[in-house]
Structure 1
Amino acid sequence: MVSMAYIGLGSNLGKRFKNLKKSIKLLESVDSLKVRNKSSVYLTEPVGYERQPWFLNMVIEVETDLLPLELLNRMLKIEKKMGREKAKDKGPREIDLDLLLYDDKVMETEELTLPHPQIHKRGFVLVPLAEIAKDKIHPLLGKKVSILLRELKDEKKVEPYKEKNHE
């Protein structure tokens, strides 16, 4: 059965723009996964651990036959292949891939919580997600992504990234 999922991508180390593009290419190479839509890239202020470079963030929509944990495992392999180390929570990283939504699935395991528990609190997720899926309903909150964005209290900066300036 084919499912639709949304993946958040972020990078604040190395060639950030190229890291995002490379991670998308690696995701596209996964069997049973097809990238259907991509948001613009946004320059975003770090959250939590703030003494680090700003991030580039975006969201992609994928069609997949993989189950949520299978998809997560493929994403973790891509992070590792690209040099991601889980040394510091919310710390600098070449790439961060987060499974945000998977159809209307609600689940909580040790490895994965769906929907991602921070979606409605993070501008760096909601802005790009609303760009490609503004009418998607959050399965727990029962609100459209566009409404969640309007109600957002996060004051961290999220600005369109001008690709002509990429590293």
Structure 2
Amino acid sequence: MAHAVLALGANMGDPALQIAQAIEAIAGHKQISLLKQSTLIVSEPWGKTDQDRFHNGAVLIETTLAPLELLDFCLATEAAIGRVRIEKWGPRLIDIDIIVYDELVIDSQRLTLPHPHAHERDFVLDPLREIAPDMADWLMIQTDNKSA
């Protein structure tokens, strides 16, 4: 079983509801066990700043899904909730990102782990530190090693 952290965010519709729906789908998957859930925080947008504030949180999971299978599940869950990808970093009904997957490092066209921008975003780091401080520490070490 692998341990992973998924970051969740939304700033359209009813963000808290959409995040709850995503967490329900995650917890309901037969190959995923929900271990911990962070509190939700509200943050300013990142990247594209002329939009509503975001609600953000994270979950720690245990899974038998391989990283790309987990990615496909996250994308399918976003689509089921109604997300349509229009612009990078733009408004969204739901966003589910894989932040870390064990201590796996991947750099492919479909998936980069750890998440390449997580270390720059307090709205990712704060929930991550709340539910998985060891993974947050590992993420920061990986980031420091890339910039050295």
Q: TM-score, normalised by structure 2?
A: 0.92
Whole-angstrom CA distance in 2 between matches of 1:58 and 1:29:
18
Q: Deviations over 1:112-136 (max 9, x none)?
A: 0000001111111001111111222
Residues 142 and 50 of structure 1, relative CA distance in 2, 3 Å threshold:
closer
- 1:105 corresponds to 2:107: no
- 1:27 corresponds to 2:32: no
For 2:2, the equivalent position in structure 1 comes to 3
For 1:50, the equivalent position in structure 2 comes to 49
For 1:96, the equivalent position in structure 2 comes to 95
Residues 20 and 135 of structure 1, relative CA distance in 2, 3 Å threshold:
same
User: Rg larger in 1 or in 2?
Assistant: 1
4+ residue runs over 4 A deviation: none
The alignment yields a C-alpha RMSD, in angstroms, of 1.3
Q: Secondary structure at the match of 1:135?
A: helix
Whole-angstrom CA distance in 2 between matches of 1:66 and 1:48:
30
Alignment of 1:97-136 (within 5 A): 97-136=96-135
Whole-angstrom CA distance in 2 between matches of 1:142 and 1:94:
32
Q: CA deviation at 1:142?
A: 6.7
Alignment of 1:62-77 (within 5 A): 62-77=61-76
**What fraction of aligned residue pairs are identical, expressed as a percent?**
36
Letter in 1 for 2:107: E
Which 5+ residue runs of structure 1 have no aligned equivalent?
144-167
Q: Secondary structure at the match of 2:119?
A: helix
Whole-angstrom CA distance in 2 between matches of 1:116 and 1:30:
22
Q: Deviations over 1:56-115 (max 9, x none)?
A: 000100000000000000000000111111111100000000000000000111110000
